[in-house]
A and B are shown apart, each in its own frame.
Chain A
Amino acid sequence: MALSIEYVAKETATNLWRNRLMALAAVLTVAVSLSLVGTALLLRQAVNRQIGELGRNVNLQVFVQANATTAQIATIRSQIQQTPQITHFTYLDHEQSYQQAIKLLSGSPSAVAALTPATTPPVFRCQLANPNDGPAVAAQFSGVPGVYRAEVPSQSIHVLQQVTNVLQVILLVIAVVLLVSSLVLILNAIRMAIFARRREVGVMKLVGATNWFIRIPFMLEGLVQGMLGAIVAVVIVLLSNMGVSYLIRHYHVNVLASSVLPAHDLLMTELLVVAVGLVVGVAGSSVAVRRFLDV
């Protein structure tokens, strides 16, 4: 069956315009919910990057004095190896530690300039079998010669991780609730469109238009509503990401520098947002068409 693109486009546009208030409500709800979805995803990625930078699963950092001797470092190393609670560790020498510091301080050139590889303390990054042992193990190392400081960064990371997890769950729950309501709004918008066009639909059935010919303009209407909502959400997510990046750079919040996401991650998130928008639009209109358009 020839389904002319022109006919479908015309019908869809007419429907949307005739039902513009309902369509607007549906589009805006999709936009808000998808913005939340996008934000939640970006937040998670940012936090993961941040944690990755600080050292994922590092429960204990033993900083060695910048001027410690090789023998002292060897002693510390063997002591770490002998500590049963420590399951795994990595050693960053002066140079590696310096590189790490540069990364962390990338937003603040003056701080970077003050550093040299020689003045940057090497560090042992340790993983504990049980993260709760962190403070106790740290205490064991604090008096060892050559040790500058033993600390438990995991706690701050842990808190950060937990806060973002909770925040993410809250955002996603709100987003899901809103997505469901936007699905219902799209469904209702399509139902009203079907009702407004019941005469046309009646005539179409009578003269032998195929079921899909009757359905497609309505399905497309839902798809367009989902898509328009997604586009608005994409812009909102993009702007909020730009805003956060700007604030981080402008106020030299160097610790968060790695929260600025690369273009690739942003693009994937935005694509996902668009996909969810399309799915919501199609799902809403499919249900409406099946329930209210008995062809």
Chain B
Amino acid sequence: MIRFDNVSKSYKGGVTALTGISLEITKGEFVFLVGSSGSGKTTFLKLLLREELPDGGRIWVAGRDIGELSHWRVPYLRRNLGCVFQDFRLLPNKTVAENVAFALEVIGRPRSVIRSQVTQVLELVGLGQKHDRRPDELSGGEQQRVAVARAFVNRPLVLLADEPTGNLDPSTSQGIMKLLDRINRTGTTVVMATHDVGIVDSMRRRVIELDRGHLVRDQERGIYGYGDASSTSTRGVPAVAAGLADQDPSRRTGRVAAVRARRGQR
């Protein structure tokens, strides 16, 4: 579904955002993208959306090299990628239903389709009763549900979420995660950049860690940080975390290679 092949990106002024990233995300996976601020998570998502072009390497989305896409095809790529952000990005002068419908209107879907899809997706996110409220009448969690509904209403192949729980309290975040999990179970690939240790640790999904633009960990059923080795091993995953507490970069890279090799064997 998504493949990065030795992708590098640096911005003007010599800031290196990503260096030599290679990875593959298959259809239906749920992937956490973790790393401290400035580690390149947002650049990763921007490259996927083709808001930025890589300086080197190639990126495939749904079998297409998106670097090869002509300018006018980019919108069609984005129709396959739903997006959710920390700050929701809802339109304040539209109701919940209108916000969701807007995503379909502007890609020219017929009205009858829009009506049924919007109703359906609002039921899915649990906002069927609040379809005529405006965003400022909703709680943060509800607003994020609207954003998820908008991202998902067109049934994208991939849902990208950039710190979707960053503005929410833990229990509300749990609700959003349940929703994303539900969406993932419909077969939608979910890539979520996050800082939320609790969420990553409790979900036990694949974790990709970036550090200053380098891929330092790619782990099945991973956790956010290092150290909680016992819980990792109980899940039957080799004790990756213990060794990673060590800051030696060469050893880290070795671990990544090991993990990748293991993924390849399956």
In the bound complex, residues from chain B placing their C-beta under 8 Å from that of A209 are: 75, 106-107
Closest B-chain residue to A199, C-beta based? Answer: B91
Q: Which of A190-236 contact B (CB under 8 A)?
A: 199-200, 202-211, 213-214
Question: Is B105 part of the contact surface with A, judged by Cβ < 8 Å?
Answer: yes
- A178 to chain B: closest CB distance in Å? 36
Check B108 against A207 for contact (C-beta < 8 Å): no
Closest A-chain residue to B105, C-beta based? Answer: A7
Pick out which of these stretches binds chain A: B77-85, B227-235, B240-248.
B77-85
Secondary structure dominating the interface of A: helix
Q: Which of B96-146 contact A (CB under 8 A)?
A: 102-103, 105-110
Q: Which of B77, B91, B110, B154 has the most CB of A within 10 A?
A: B91
CA distance A161 to B266 in the complex (A): 93
Could you say which of B75, B89, B102, B103 contacts A210, with CB atoms under 8 Å apart? B75
Q: Which of B161-181 contact A (CB under 8 A)?
A: none
Do A213 and B106 form a contact, CB below 8 Å, given A199-B91, A206-B78? Answer: yes
In the bound complex, residues from chain B placing their C-beta under 8 Å from that of A200 are: 91, 102
Question: Is A4 part of the contact surface with B, judged by Cβ < 8 Å?
Answer: yes
Closest B-chain residue to A213, C-beta based? Answer: B106
Question: Is A74 part of the contact surface with B, judged by Cβ < 8 Å?
Answer: no
Question: Is A3 part of the contact surface with B, judged by Cβ < 8 Å?
Answer: yes
Could you say which of B75, B77, B103 contacts A211, with CB atoms under 8 Å apart? B75
Question: Is A71 part of the contact surface with B, judged by Cβ < 8 Å?
Answer: no
Question: Is A2 part of the contact surface with B, judged by Cβ < 8 Å?
Answer: yes
Chain A interface residue bracket vs B: 10 to 19
Check B108 against A4 for contact (C-beta < 8 Å): yes
In the bound complex, residues from chain B placing their C-beta under 8 Å from that of A207 are: 78-79, 83, 102-103, 106-107, 150-151, 154
CA distance A80 to B72 in the complex (A): 75
CA distance A211 to B109 in the complex (A): 16
In the bound complex, residues from chain A placing their C-beta under 8 Å from that of B75 are: 205, 208-211
Question: Is A136 part of the contact surface with B, judged by Cβ < 8 Å?
Answer: no
CA distance A211 to B76 in the complex (A): 11
Could you say which of A7, A199, A211 contacts B72, with CB atoms under 8 Å apart? A211
In the bound complex, residues from chain A placing their C-beta under 8 Å from that of B71 are: 211
- B186 to chain A: closest CB distance in Å? 19
In the bound complex, residues from chain A placing their C-beta under 8 Å from that of B108 are: 1-4, 213
Check B103 against A203 for contact (C-beta < 8 Å): yes
Check A199 against B89 for contact (C-beta < 8 Å): yes
CA distance A208 to B49 in the complex (A): 10
- A107 to chain B: closest CB distance in Å? 62
- B89 to chain A: closest CB distance in Å? 6
CA distance A210 to B106 in the complex (A): 8
Check B91 against A2 for contact (C-beta < 8 Å): no
Interface string of A139-166 (1 = CB under 8 A from B): 0000000000000000000000000000
Closest B-chain residue to A209, C-beta based? Answer: B106
Do A205 and B78 form a contact, CB below 8 Å, given A2-B108, A213-B108? Answer: yes
In the bound complex, residues from chain A placing their C-beta under 8 Å from that of B110 are: 2
Closest B-chain residue to A202, C-beta based? Answer: B89
Which residues does A use to contact B, with CB under 8 Å? 1-4, 7, 199-200, 202-211, 213-214
- Starting from the known contacts A1-B107, A207-B151, 17 additional A-B residue pairs (CB-CB under 8 Å) come to A3-B108, A199-B92, A200-B91, A200-B102, A205-B78, A206-B49, A206-B78, A206-B83, A207-B83, A207-B150, A208-B78, A208-B79, A208-B107, A210-B75, A211-B75, A213-B107, A213-B108
A-B contact pairs, 27 of them (CB 8 A): A1-B107, A1-B108, A2-B109, A7-B105, A199-B89, A199-B92, A200-B91, A203-B106, A203-B150, A205-B75, A206-B49, A206-B83, A207-B79, A207-B103, A207-B150, A207-B151, A208-B75, A208-B76, A208-B79, A208-B80, A208-B154, A209-B75, A209-B107, A210-B75, A211-B72, A213-B108, A214-B106
